[in-house]
């Protein structure tokens, strides 16, 4: 899978154990498999601190160009997501 593009689509809650599992998979794909990842959160229904940490981690990696994030509809999460509106 080295050097390929992968899309991870989350259409549920990005919380708790599920969020930790997603983060482990995301890290594995990016750091060990050298893959470009599109993290699609457009249909995600809720976040906790772990879910938000994943988004921040992806934003910090964005300078390397290996993680692209599609954020959910902001009207649903305006207060939580305000600091993240600059992520592309």
Domain 5-84 has CATH 3.30.2420.10: no
| Local structure of 9: helix, strand or coil | strand
| Local structure of 12: helix, strand or coil | coil
Structure tokens at 32: 């060990």
- Total residues belonging to the chain: 88
pTM of the complete model: 0.73
Question: Residue 71 region, left (φ>0) first, then alpha (ψ -120 to 50), else beta?
Answer: beta
Tens digit of each residue's pLDDT (9 = 90 or more) over 16-67: 999 999 999 998 888 877 778 899 999 998 889 999 999 889 888 766 768 8
Residues 6+ apart with CB under 8 A from 25: 8
CB 56 within 8 A of CB 25: no
- For the chain, domain boundaries: 5-84
């Amino acid at each position: 899978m080295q050097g390929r593009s992968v899309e991870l689509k989350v259409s549920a809650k990005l919380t708790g154990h599920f969020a930790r599992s997603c983060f482990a998979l995301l890290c594995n794909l990016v750091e060990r498999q050298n893959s470009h990842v599109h993290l699609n959160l457009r249909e995600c229904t809720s976040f906790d601190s772990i879910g938000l940490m994943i988004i921040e981690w992806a934003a910090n990696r964005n300078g390397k160009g290996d993680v692209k994030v599609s954020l959910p509809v902001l009207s649903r999460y305006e207060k939580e997501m305000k600091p993240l509106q600059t992520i592309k």
